[in-house]
Amino acid sequence: MTLEQILEDIKNDRVKKIILDSDIAIEMDDQYALAYCLGSEKIQLLSANGGTFGKGDTGDYVLGAEACYNEFLRLFDICGCGDKYTTYMGAKNCIFDNGGKPIDCPAARNIINTALSMPEDELLYVVATGCCTNVSSAIMLEPAIKEKICVIWLGGQCLDFKGKLDECNLAFDYAAGQYLIDCGVPLILLPAHDHGTCVLTFGFDDLAKIEGDGKIQKFFRDEFPNTPKFHWNYMGKRERILYDVAAPAVLTTPEHFKFSIIPAPIFTDDHYYAFDRMRHNIIYMESMERDPVLEDTWKYISRLK
């Protein structure tokens, strides 16, 4: 599909088949993004890829990958669907530390195998809400999948940002981000920081909008938000982040996003943006509306059984 056709595709009522590739062990927004996927009638989750990140004081990517894999298993069990979805172990290294070479891991192979098995007239959406090591590795290993997938990647700063590019989803594997933005795969780029998906925050009182007394509702409303790992203080306010929910929301309520087709920006080697009007195009999120996406999040969690 062309980028114009993809923008039309996300607006139609066709149920979108997705792989969720997530560093689900690093923050709390990933878990809510998974619940969003499970509760939406417009998304068919095919499988999950554990992402990775540098875990702990030493930045251990092995520990990060294992933590994400295990957290997916835990969340699927809590949501009562552990036997329905397969989780694949993500990269235990980053492309940057691997000399620019792909990491051949189960998660990358899952993207390849799923993409190549898609019907001729149907697109696979790879929804990536962490560093894009698995996704970039898959494309490096099998470039033909660029014709079969659209990547929705949440990462980086807004294009008007003038400082160093240090957003965590990009910074954990900068080389993977450089490859993804350069390779020409159909890409919907959701910038996080400055005025991107970071508008998606919620207050503790918002959780009361999750209705029902089932195990899943109690977990997301009462138990998980109160774990010691999370501190309710964001930018001096009693709020938490929910950035990652924006990625699947692109496929359910695109009317709440403003998109543009633009030449792909360049992630320079010294970690700044550069621009070239002759570059291939991508879809870029200019802005999003916070409230409708949050309302859908609470609604989808409320309906889970």
Q: Shortest CA distance to 136 belongs to which of 46, 21, 39?
A: 21
pLDDT tens readout for residues 144-158: 999 999 999 999 999
pLDDT tens readout for residues 4-54: 999 999 999 999 999 999 999 999 999 999 999 999 999 999 999 999 999
Residue 139 has pLDDT above 80, yes or no: yes
Domains, in order of start, for the chain: 3-302 (3.90.245.10)
Residue 3 has pLDDT above 80, yes or no: yes
pLDDT tens readout for residues 185-242: 999 999 999 899 999 999 989 999 999 999 999 999 999 998 877 778 877 778 899 9
Q: What was the pLDDT predicted at 246? A: 98
Exposure string of 252-275, with b = 16+ CB inside 10 Å and e = fewer, is bbbebbebeebebbebeeeeebee
Q: What pTM does this model have?
A: 0.96
Q: What was the pLDDT predicted at 57? A: 82
pLDDT tens readout for residues 254-286: 999 999 999 999 999 999 999 999 999 999 999
| Spatial distance between the Cα atoms of 100 and 245, rounded to a whole number of angstroms | 30
Average pLDDT of every residue of the chain: 96
Q: What was the pLDDT predicted at 283? A: 98
Exposed / middle / buried, residue 303 (Cβ in 10 Å: 0-12, 13-18, 19+): middle
Q: What was the pLDDT predicted at 238? A: 85
Exposure string of 65-75, with b = 16+ CB inside 10 Å and e = fewer, is bbbbbebbeeb
DSSP-derived letter for residue 156 is S
Exposure string of 116-147, with b = 16+ CB inside 10 Å and e = fewer, is eeeeeeebbbbbbbbbbbbbbbbbbbbeebbe
Q: What was the pLDDT predicted at 149? A: 98
